[in-house]
Structures are given as C-alpha cells and as structure tokens.
Chains A and B, each alone.
Chain A
Amino acid sequence: QKEVEQNSGPLSVPEGAIASLNCTYSDRGSQSFFWYRQYSGKSPELIMFIYSNGDKEDGRFTAQLNKASQYVSLLIRDSQPSDSATYLCAVRSSASKIIFGSGTRLSIRP
C-alpha cells in the first residue's frame, strides 16, 4: 500500500463548477496535511494545510480532513481555467518527513 494515494486523473471540470480532489494516507500517526498546486515546469506551490479534523476554508479553496477514515480532500469552488494544474497531496508522517502522493491532474474546461 502506498503511503499517500491519489487518483491520477485527469479530472475534467467545467468552468465555474466545484472540483473535488481526494487523497488517502496509511500512517495513522500523521500530523499534518498539505495540498500543493504544480504548474508544468514549475515547483510545487503550497495552497492549503490542515491538521485538525473538519474543514478549513481559504478563499475558493476548502480542505477537509477525516483522520478516522485517513482521508483528506480539497474542494475548489468556482473553478477557473487558471486552476488547471497538477494537485499534490502531501502528508507529514509520524517521523516528521513529508510524503507526496502521485498527484491529480485537473483540467478546467471553458
């Protein structure tokens, strides 16, 4: 079992709709959880982090964490073409290292 799992996509969402990205992790002792956005040829950009169960909102982005189910998600409201990118889920494990999922490619179609 991979430590951090994501659906590779591509996920295609119409402009203005909600994009939902999902991630599961295996280490129950994981401490914090991150979502990064990566455009082609660029380094990952941190867009959200969360460490408590529940929802965390920042503008059009909402991160959701369910530690009992070992599940993290990212919702993007009012999707824009500029949101088209690869979204990487990352988890800080109980050993304090940050492990990445394989990433989900998101495409926002006009």
Chain B
Amino acid sequence: SAVISQKPSRDICQRGTSLTIQCQVDSQVTMMFWYRQQPGQSLTLIATANQGSEATYESGFVIDKFPISRPNLTFSTLTVSNMSPEDSSIYLCSAGPPAEQFFGPGTRLTVL
C-alpha cells in the first residue's frame, strides 16, 4: 500500500486568490492523480501528473486554472488559481502501485 499525506487539510480563501495543495507519497510512484469532490458528488478527475512531463488535464480543466507540479516521484502540488466560490470543494490526491490506488485525506477548500 501507499501512505499519502496532503497539506493543508482545509483552508478558507478569498475570491481571486490562489491556493497550492501539497501531496506527499511514502514511496515512489509513476503516476499521481488529482481529483475534486463537490458536496454530495462523486470524484472528478482533474489531471494526471507524471514525473518529468506535463500534466494531462481532463475535459473542463485547464493548466492556467489548475497548474500542477511533479518535481519527483513522491511529491506533487496542485494550485487552484484565481479562485471563485465555485471552486469550493474537496481536493484529493491519489497514487499507488499499478494494481492499486490510494487516496490522501483530502483538502477541504472554501472560497468566500
């Protein structure tokens, strides 16, 4: 299994600002994934982050709004830029060996 930590666990931000979420995995992994979960909804994939290459974004998500870094095989960041209240959500990092996929505890973001 993989143990995944995220920082911060929660934050309240003002409209128009940016927040960077950090994700740390306790082992080296090839792929890391960022998801968003809005209240009462399932998980929506934002992007896939591979070390050494540009992140791959899903339809409806763009790099200018959600820039991602992947500097090594155990760490990634997701930035939520120019935030609006619609960005209020739980953001989850996921990673693991090819046959399994684990989740971090999530970052609960509230935008006022």
A interface, CB within 8 angstroms of B: 32, 34, 36, 42-46, 49, 51, 88, 90, 92, 96-103
Q: B44, B56, B103: which has the most chain A beta carbons within 10 Å?
A: B103
* Cross-chain contact A43 with B99 (CB below 8 angstroms): no
B interface, CB within 8 angstroms of A: 31, 33, 35, 41-45, 48, 56, 58, 92, 94, 98-106
Contacts A32-B99, A51-B99; A97 near B45 (Cβ below 8 A): yes
Q: Which B residues lie within 8 Å of A102 (CB)?
A: 41-42
What distance in Å separates the Cβ of B5 from its nearest Cβ neighbour in chain A?
A: 11
Task: Specify which of A43, A46, A92, A100 is in contact with B105 (CB 8 Å cutoff).
Answer: A43
* Cross-chain contact A96 with B31 (CB below 8 angstroms): yes
Q: How far is the CA of A96 from the CA of B42 in the complex (A)?
A: 19
Measured CB to CB, the nearest residue on chain B to A89 is B42
Measured CB to CB, the nearest residue on chain B to A51 is B99
14 contacts between A and B (CB under 8 A): A32-B98, A36-B103, A42-B105, A46-B100, A46-B102, A49-B99, A51-B99, A96-B31, A97-B45, A97-B48, A97-B58, A98-B45, A100-B43, A103-B42
